[in-house]
Structure 1
Amino acid sequence: MLAQPSLDRPRQVRSGAIDFLRILGIAAVVAGHVGAWSGPVVRETVYTWHVPLFFFLSGYLWSEGRSVVQEMNKRARTLLLPYIVWLVLVGAWWLSQMDVIHGADLRKLMLGGWYVRGPLAAFWFVTALFFAVVAVRAIQRFPNWLQWTLAVAALVVTMREPDFVARVPLAGGIGVACVVFVLAGREFRRNRQRIRRPLITGLVILCGCAAAILSGWSTHLDLKYAQLGSSVITVLVAIGICASLLLIAEHVIPRLGPRVNNELSTLASCGFMVVLTHAVVLAEMTKLGLAPWLVFAGSLAGPWLLALLILRTGLAPVLLGVPVRRESEPVHESARSVRI
């Protein structure tokens, strides 16, 4: 689910602001999966932006020089390899909960995306992100207006045939529909320097988006099922929230100092595992009848602590999709020099 650094290049300096947003997005994903919190308040509060945020950040950190083949190779290492490993591990745990294993259950694991639920609920995002960034890479040679036309066309198809799009294996249909968020992030970066007062601008945009939600003009989206809420309005609100959070974070987080930024970088670099494994911890803790906040805290902290240990072992590239972290690394104060 996370934008990962390449394994075949020296590690680039990171942005503490963007790493903070990754952590925030992961926490929002986990909160959205806590059953006791699955009412309208949580849906309207986090579902509109928590998944689009990662697509938006992929566009914001876009590097123009990579070919389609290079993109596929990179994402195969940083996204698909951990996806496959965790699919086997979590899938085995999921199947172990059943009295009888049917062929249809194994088929669902292979199809991924819409077809897997429960402890595998978040797995769809990984393949959707893969298809989204590869699709953007494939159309990057086209004029900008044509890229946007294709992205909007994919949205129109999704709005009209959500069931068809959602059921494309490995969330490929959703990935293509999410190209619009990647392009929005890329376009926002190109115009970022024109924004002279990021904090005020971000707060104004965020308040405007909140007003659209509170007024009922925009309803939450659920990308896994190709549900786009109030269609165009919800998509625009999602992009607006992502942009506002980025502006606010870029103003606030660097002021916390290099040490905090470095810790944020470390947490974010192994957050991929949290996305793919938190549902297992959540399911087991829910069985204990614990308070929702304890379930949330345990589902977030447990996988993250284990991931931090793995980060410094040879398993990091396989389980986390990142190189082994040998020592603390500095975090750049600005996101402007960072690429993925």
Structure 2
Amino acid sequence: MEGMENRGHEAHPPGGGRLEWIDVARGIGIVAVVVGHVWTRGGLRDAMYSFHMPLFFLLSGLLSRPQAAGRFARRQLASQMRPYAAFLILLILADQIIETMKGGRPIFHDWPGDLAPIMLGGSWLRGPFTIFWFVPCLMMARILFNMALARWPDPLDRRWALLMLPALPIAYGAVRFAGLSPLGMLTVPMALVLLWVGAAWQRVNWRGWMLAPLVPLSLAGLTALLPTLNMKAADYGWPLLSIGSAVATSLLLFRLSVRIAPFSGWIAAIGRASLVIMYLHVAVIHYLSPYVGRPWLLAQALLMPIAAYYLIRAVPGARRIFL
């Protein structure tokens, strides 16, 4: 997906660094996502949930550039919803086969009645499909963000405050509708804020003193001193503080990615497969969790989607559909 999958030739973080750091940051982020879904409770889970989804929104905002609004929206709809539909259909078919072989009942078994929740997506998709809220949410947020960015190309322009200040109360108020999020749209207001923060951060020169506020704020989230996040349900913990901790952790991880990029090719390789991992890892966890321990489950939830990514890349027809 653009913002996770496609990259410009001159993407630089504040303070320098080459393109490889972007894939390293994606790799760290997607590993955090998988860890948070393998360990479903406890301190490790809370630490991952304190930042893992905001990291991808921030990174997408950091890579954003103003484009013609109509053309950008059409391209997003074509390039993002095609793999979304392809992976969703693939997993629905896989669930029909796997659950039938196990003597169980597939998740979607009431046809044609199940077509409605499948089309609604978002909060209606659970089990192996639970992550499918993210891509349409990011896509819609990027379309809306680009419309504003095309009008005000400088994210530090004070007119952005006119847009972002109303977005925050809307985002925090959305939790009242947590059970109603078609295609993940409930999270779009907060996604817009994070995209803007990422874009604004690109304009800021890194200074060493920034560690002083960022590190304590990050640790407060990682150690669960602040309530953790559940972005799918529009639960953002304590107003401003929990999401601020996620931003702090992500920005520190971006700096770390810059530093380790020259010798972290394997993390960058995971990052390049992040879209396929995002779509497939929950299904691997869902079907294998009764049979293997968590460390092995983590390994399989990463390795199997990575293998699928390289298989898809090797087949031109599959590449056009799934990537």
Give the TM-score band, short-chain normalised: 0.7 to 0.9
Alignment of structure 1 residues 147-158 onto 2, 5 Å: 147-158=160-171
Q: Deviations over 1:239-260 (max 9, x none)?
A: 1111111112112323x2xxx5
The equivalent of 1:74 in structure 2 is 75
Please report the TM-score for the alignment, with normalisation by the length of structure 2: 0.84
The equivalent of 1:51 in structure 2 is 53
The equivalent of 1:160 in structure 2 is 173
How far residue 162 of structure 1 moved from its aligned partner, in angstroms, is 1.0
Please report the TM-score for the alignment, with normalisation by the length of structure 1: 0.80
How far residue 133 of structure 1 moved from its aligned partner, in angstroms, is 0.6
The equivalent of 2:134 in structure 1 is 125
Distance change >3 Å, CA 40–CA 266, structure 1 → 2:
closer
Q: Is the Cα–Cα contact under 8 Å of residues 48 and 222 in structure 2 kept in the other structure?
A: no
Alignment of structure 1 residues 83-102 onto 2, 5 Å: 83-95=84-96, 97=99, 98=105, 100-102=109-111
User: What's the secondary structure of 2:114's corresponding residue?
Assistant: helix
Is 145-154 or 16-25 further displaced after alignment?
A: 145-154
The equivalent of 1:332 in structure 2 is none
The equivalent of 1:27 in structure 2 is 31
How far residue 12 of structure 1 moved from its aligned partner, in angstroms, is 7.3
Q: Deviations over 1:131-176 (max 9, x none)?
A: 1111101222148334334233222123223132662311123123
Q: Deviations over 1:38-93 (max 9, x none)?
A: 113133211121011111001111112x1122222332343221101011111233
From 177, 188, 195, give the equivalent of 2:206: 195
Count of aligned pairs between the two proteins: 303
CA distance in 2 between partners of 1:231 and 1:298 (Å): 36
CA distance in 2 between partners of 1:163 and 1:104 (Å): 27
User: What's the secondary structure of 1:32's corresponding residue?
Assistant: helix
1:227 aligns with 2:235: yes
How far residue 178 of structure 1 moved from its aligned partner, in angstroms, is 0.9
Q: Is the Cα–Cα contact under 8 Å of residues 58 and 197 in structure 2 kept in the other structure?
A: yes
From 274, 278, 290, give the equivalent of 2:277: 274
AA aligned to 1:85 is A
AA aligned to 1:55 is F
CA distance in 2 between partners of 1:174 and 1:317 (Å): 28
Identity of aligned residues (%): 23
How far residue 204 of structure 1 moved from its aligned partner, in angstroms, is 6.5
1:249 aligns with 2:252: no
Q: Deviations over 1:17-48 (max 9, x none)?
A: 110111111111111111xx211313321112
1:137 aligns with 2:146: yes
Gaps of 5+ in 2: 12-17, 100-104
Distance change >3 Å, CA 83–CA 208, structure 1 → 2:
same
Distance change >3 Å, CA 211–CA 234, structure 1 → 2:
closer
Q: CA RMSD in A?
A: 2.6
Q: Is the Cα–Cα contact under 8 Å of residues 201 and 244 in structure 1 kept in the other structure?
A: no
CA distance in 2 between partners of 1:267 and 1:311 (Å): 14
Q: Is the Cα–Cα contact under 8 Å of residues 35 and 45 in structure 2 kept in the other structure?
A: no
Which stretches of structure 1, 4 residues or more, deviate above 6 A after TM superposition?
10-14
CA distance in 2 between partners of 1:205 and 1:72 (Å): 34
Q: Is the Cα–Cα contact under 8 Å of residues 61 and 194 in structure 2 kept in the other structure?
A: yes
CA distance in 1 between partners of 2:271 and 2:222 (Å): 29
How far residue 203 of structure 1 moved from its aligned partner, in angstroms, is 8.2
The equivalent of 2:289 in structure 1 is 286
How far residue 265 of structure 1 moved from its aligned partner, in angstroms, is 4.5
1:106 aligns with 2:106: no
Distance change >3 Å, CA 202–CA 252, structure 1 → 2:
farther
